[in-house]
């Protein structure tokens, strides 16, 4: 055995799968976001840091693939397990879930899937895991039929999208099943240069899309702050504020700071407010790397009172984030119908608070990365009705990229995950621009 083999704790792939299960338990049992669960779990032991990059990437891919297809995977398991899913020990259920993710979505060789699963489950459950796994693999044609006929997202969300987006809900679901969604960057200068340097594709003026997965912090330009990660859709709201040099702008619910950085890059003087201390710490770290400065306040804007008002405000409100499933598939398994109700109430309160901070004649830009009408269309309609000194300022198609397919019939902008005519799609978003009239 050579030194590489001696030092490789993942020689049969079992360790990577073990970590994937730990991360999935953090996400599905403790409601941790995927990024956070991955970071926390991988810091628990130094072993993970010793894995080669390919194994680290596979671990994350296995977790995200399992989450992305969990509704279909669980439907398939109900056809082969003799007991209900909730009667199966969670760890064993998770082993079976990652088995199916590997076999049917990642095309891992069957023998590798079964062997590592049996190794992970322990003696007591070896018979069940081995038996169910092999039974499914022996009946792949039937299994694929079950996967095909299954719902692809949880019922609570499927029913909403069928109701609200009857014409295109299948397209939305298809886009979210993208196994390797690209990463979008906002670059400070010379997007053509960075697209070539990073082997990406330029989108619009300052966006570069990367299709090759890898460790972002190791890419050229990261350490010296030439760019930051920000989805294409998330870059649109700031572009609709008509920012001029030295504009005084208030960025509400600002962390982790993509829009703050965007505003600064355009020459604005920015005040950034967020009530989440941990997220604000990330904002400060991001601005430091980018060599940007802003006035930063750790406040709840509902209790924020100043004599000062601002001519331009952007409110990227906390929301269900159902427009981001292609990158954050855990959301559909963590959120529920009642969350939409509580979040829409919070958004209404934040809108009212933001309005009090806006100058007469000023502009409020409201946005969410949600596909739910209560957090978008209905929210802004309700706001306009209760604020008699408000005027919805139409967002025209000539203000946005021609590659972005949107309807021109409404004054707001509704962006679906398949609206962008580039490979890899985009986050779903809602954007409305409101003027304060006298």
Active site residues: 369
What CA–CA distances, in Å, run from 170 to 71, 181, 320? 15, 18, 20
* C-alpha to C-alpha distance for 303 and 244, rounded to whole angstroms: 29
What CA–CA distances, in Å, run from 41 to 11, 47, 54? 20, 11, 18
Please give the distance of CA 63 from its chain centroid, rounded to a whole number.
14
Q: Which two tokens stand for residue 383?
A: 């706001």
What secondary structure, in 3-state letters, does the chain show?
A: CCHHHHHCCCCCCHHHHHHHHHHHHHHHHHCCCHHHHHHHHHHCCCCHHHCCHHHHHHHHHHHHHHHHCHHHHHHHHHCCCCCCHHHCCHHHHHHHHHHHHHHHHCCCCHHHHHHHHHHHHCHHHHHHHHHHHHHHHHCHHHHHHHHHHCCCCCHHHHHHHHHHCCCCHHHHHHHHCCCCCCEEEEECCCHHHHHHHCCCEEECCCEEEECCCCCHHHCCCCCCCCEEECCHHHHHHHHCCCCCCCCEEEEECCCCCHHHHHHHHCCCEEEEEECCHHHHHHHHHHHHHHCCCCEEEECCHHHCCCCCCEEEEEEECCCCCHHHCCCCCCHHHHCCHHHHHHHHHHHHHHHHHHHHCEEEEEEEEEEECCCCHHHCHHHHHHHHHHCCCEEECCCCHHHCCCCECCCCCCCCEEECCCCECCCCCCCCEEEEEEEECC
Q: Give yes or no for a contact between 100 and 73, defined as CB atoms under 8 angstroms apart.
A: yes
**The CA-based dihedral angle spanning residues 236, 237, 242, 243, taken in that order and rounded to the nearest 10 degrees:** -100
């Amino acid at each position: 055995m050579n030194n590489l083999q001696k030092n490789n704790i993942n020689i049969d792939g079992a360790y990577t799968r073990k970590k994937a299960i730990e991360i999935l338990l953090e996400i599905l049992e403790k409601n941790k976001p995927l990024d956070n669960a991955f970071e926390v779990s991988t810091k628990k032991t130094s072993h993970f840091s010793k894995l080669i990059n390919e194994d680290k990437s596979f671990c994350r891919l296995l977790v995200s693939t399992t989450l992305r297809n969990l509704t279909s995977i669980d439907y398939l398991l109900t056809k082969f397990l003799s007991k209900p899913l909730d009667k199966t020990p969670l760890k064993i259920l998770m082993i079976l879930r990652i088995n199916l993710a590997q076999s049917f979505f990642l095309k891992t060789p069957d023998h590798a899937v079964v062997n590592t699963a049996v190794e992970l489950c322990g003696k007591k459950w070896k018979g069940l895991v081995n038996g169910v796994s092999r039974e499914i693999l022996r009946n792949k044609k039937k299994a694929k039929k079950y996967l095909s006929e299954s719902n692809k997202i949880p019922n609570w969300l499927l029913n909403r999208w069928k109701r609200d987006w009857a014409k295109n809900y299948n397209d939305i679901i298809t886009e979210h099943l993208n196994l390797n969604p690209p990463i979008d960057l906002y670059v400070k200068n010379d997007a053509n240069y960075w697209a070539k340097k990073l082997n990406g594709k330029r989108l619009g003026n300052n966006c570069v899309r990367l299709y090759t997965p890898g460790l972002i912090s190791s890419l050229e330009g990261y350490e010296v702050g030439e760019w930051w990660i920000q989805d294409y859709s998330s870059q649109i709201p700031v572009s609709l504020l008509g920012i001029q040099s030295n504009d005084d702008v208030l960025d509400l619910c600002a962390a982790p700071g993509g829009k703050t950085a965007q505003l600064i890059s355009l020459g604005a003087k920015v005040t950034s407010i967020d009530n989440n201390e941990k997220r604000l710490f990330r904002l400060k770290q991001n601005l430091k790397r980018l060599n940007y400065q802003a006035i930063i306040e750790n406040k709840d804007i509902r209790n924020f009172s100043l004599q000062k008002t601002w001519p331009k405000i952007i409110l990227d409100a906390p929301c269900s984030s159902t427009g981001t499933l292609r990158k954050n598939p855990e959301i559909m398994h963590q959120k529920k119908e009642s969350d939409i109700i509580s979040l829409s109430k919070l958004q209404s309160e934040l809108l009212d608070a933001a309005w009090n901070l806006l100058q007469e004649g000023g502009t409020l830009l409201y946005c969410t990365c949600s596909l739910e009408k209560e957090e978008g269309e209905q929210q802004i309609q309700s706001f306009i009705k209760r604020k008699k000194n408000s005027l919805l300022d139409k967002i025209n198609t000539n203000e946005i990229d021609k590659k972005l397919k949107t309807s021109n019939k409404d004054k707001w902008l509704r962006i679906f995950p398949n609206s962008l005519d580039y490979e890899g799609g985009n986050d779903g978003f809602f954007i409305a621009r409101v003027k304060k009239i006298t």
